[in-house]
Amino acid sequence: MSAIARAAALLACVILSAGCQTFHDPPVEAEPAPFEFRFGPGDRIHVSVWGEKELQLDLQLGPDGSIAIPLVGDVQMGGLTIDEARVELAKRLKAAYVDPTVSVSLVEMRSHVIHVAGEVANPGTVAYVRGATVLAAIQASGGVKEGIADLSAVRVIRTRTFKPAAYELDLEAVLAGERPDMWLLPGDTIYVPVRLLARWNRWWRLFWPWSDSLEAPK
């Protein structure tokens, strides 16, 4: 199952279980968890070998975390840091080039992301950085839909184990300075629910679409 399919399935579970799922208070941590970037499937990189025009490459890691290099073949990058990837490429290129000077840079990170869904301007994914919080991720998604989003009951689903952990965060309290924001981890899913009144209005228009044209009784 692809990452997109997993995220969609997870989101469906969040929405369907919103009424019966027990949500926990977010963990209170003094600082974000340590994070060391390592390449993963989907990451886009630039590889450059000094003095070799044919080895100025923009590449994307495949589903297995590998890239294809001319005259070398597939090279496994998944799970490596940028420095480890540079050393691995240099080692592999020595079979075809004399003392290659290799540089590797990250163009776009797609393997470590946060999923943001619900009543936000631009649902989707945002890149993870150490120190990312729920509020920052929502802002990176264009912010919430004013008057529709329920900031008092934002859901955060964490699936780093076989049993997902579900948290409920009152972002209104965060904005008021009454409680700390929640540090995020790669792969976390944020769901901003709709306010009860807005939900009722949507339901009303779905089943009685002609109601807006009805005149109020005199």
Please tell me whether residues 12 and 119 are part of one structural domain.
yes
From 84, 108, 132, give the residue that closes a domain: 108
Q: For residue range 93-106, what is the model confidence (pLDDT) as tens digits? A: 988 888 889 999 99
Q: Output the domain CATH number for residue 61.
A: 3.30.1950.10
AA identity, residue 172: E
Please indicate, yes or no, if residue 35 is contained in any of the structural domains: no
Please indicate, yes or no, if residue 134 is contained in any of the structural domains: yes
Per-chain mean pLDDT for the chain: 83
Please tell me whether residues 135 and 79 are part of one structural domain.
no
Total number of domains in the chain: 2
Instruction: Residue 56: count other Cβ atoms within 10 Å of its Cβ.
Output: 11
From 108, 127, 155, give the residue that closes a domain: 108
Instruction: Residue 179: count other Cβ atoms within 10 Å of its Cβ.
Output: 16
Domain with 192, as residue range(s), is 3-25+112-205
Whether residue 41 is predicted with pLDDT greater than 70 in this model: the reply is yes
* Contact by Cβ (8 Å): 112, 37: yes
Whether residue 218 is predicted with pLDDT greater than 50 in this model: the reply is no
The pTM (predicted TM-score) of the whole model is 0.70
Please tell me whether residues 21 and 61 are part of one structural domain.
no
Please tell me whether residues 99 and 116 are part of one structural domain.
no
pLDDT on residue 209: 55
Q: Output the domain CATH number for residue 14.
A: 3.10.560.10
Please indicate, yes or no, if residue 181 is contained in any of the structural domains: yes
pLDDT on residue 75: 93
Please indicate, yes or no, if residue 39 is contained in any of the structural domains: no
Residue 112 and residue 40: Cα distance in Å, rounded? Answer: 8
From 108, 125, 147, give the residue that closes a domain: 108
Closest CA to 95 of 62, 120, 70: 70
Please tell me whether residues 149 and 99 are part of one structural domain.
no
Q: For residue range 107-158, what is the model confidence (pLDDT) as tens digits? A: 999 999 999 999 999 999 999 999 999 999 999 999 999 888 999 999 999 9
